[in-house]
Amino acid sequence: MEYITVWQEGAEEFVERKSRFIGSCKPVSTEEEALDFIAQLKTKYWDASHNVYAYILREGGVQRFSDDGEPQGTAGIPVIDTLKKAGVTDVVVVATRYFGGILLGGGGLIRAYSHTASLALEAAQKVRMKECLLAQVSCGYENFGRVQTLVPEYGGVVEDTEFLEQVSLRFHLEPERLEELSRRLADATAGRAALEQRGTGYFPFPLE
């Protein structure tokens, strides 16, 4: 299983006919986290004309948006539509506007808020989250060098190494790579490396 989200909190802005638009984006996993971020931005930009928002969550398939005083259909919908077109989830975007005195019209607002959301997503960097296996391999010190080389060679990302009576490497990797890695570890260590699965978790991968 996999899904697309953003890697980090990010923000970007631009000016359209004297109105300043600021797009802020953050990865979230619950509605509470999304609402907290929206509240923070409303406090930060307390003097803005509008703080439009939208978020999409995997949990419960929640999708919500707000025009925050802009004409209906010209702000929140363009923002959430941008998220849908990007295929992202577990994401919240706040599109802040400081009115510059020149009316943009319905079409102008739709384009401006869509662009604001796109800039926010770009700043937060889209990533693909894949469900990976959490694993551990333990070996004697005489085999550590070979094991340390093989794990990343077969797609494992080492998260921790523990040096006790034996060396233990904790890592994650895509499920389809496990069998191949297991076979190579057995060959390289004459069966002296013990490979153990420890569950699953989601980890980021670059978009192809």
Q: Does the pTM exceed 0.85?
A: no
According to the model, what pLDDT value does residue 205 have?
Answer: 85
**Structure confidence by residue, pLDDT tens digits, 93-123:** 999 999 988 888 888 999 999 999 999 999 9
Kindly state the percentage of the chain with pLDDT values over 70: 100
88 has pLDDT over 90: yes
Kindly state the percentage of the chain with pLDDT values over 90: 86
Q: Which are the contacts of 90, defined by CB distance < 8 A and separation ≥ 6? A: 3, 5, 27, 28, 29, 56, 57, 58
DSSP state at residue 47: T
What mean pLDDT is predicted for residues 52-65?
95
77 has pLDDT over 90: yes
89 compared with 207, residue with greater pLDDT: 89
Alpha-carbon span 68 to 77, nearest angstrom: 11
DSSP secondary structure of 56-101: E-SGGG-EEEE-TTSPTTSSHHHHHHHHHHHTB-SEEEEEEEE--S
174 compared with 1, residue with greater pLDDT: 174
What mean pLDDT is predicted for residues 70-90?
95
Alpha-carbon span 200 to 86, nearest angstrom: 26
**Structure confidence by residue, pLDDT tens digits, 150-197:** 999 988 999 999 999 999 999 999 999 999 999 999 999 998 898 999
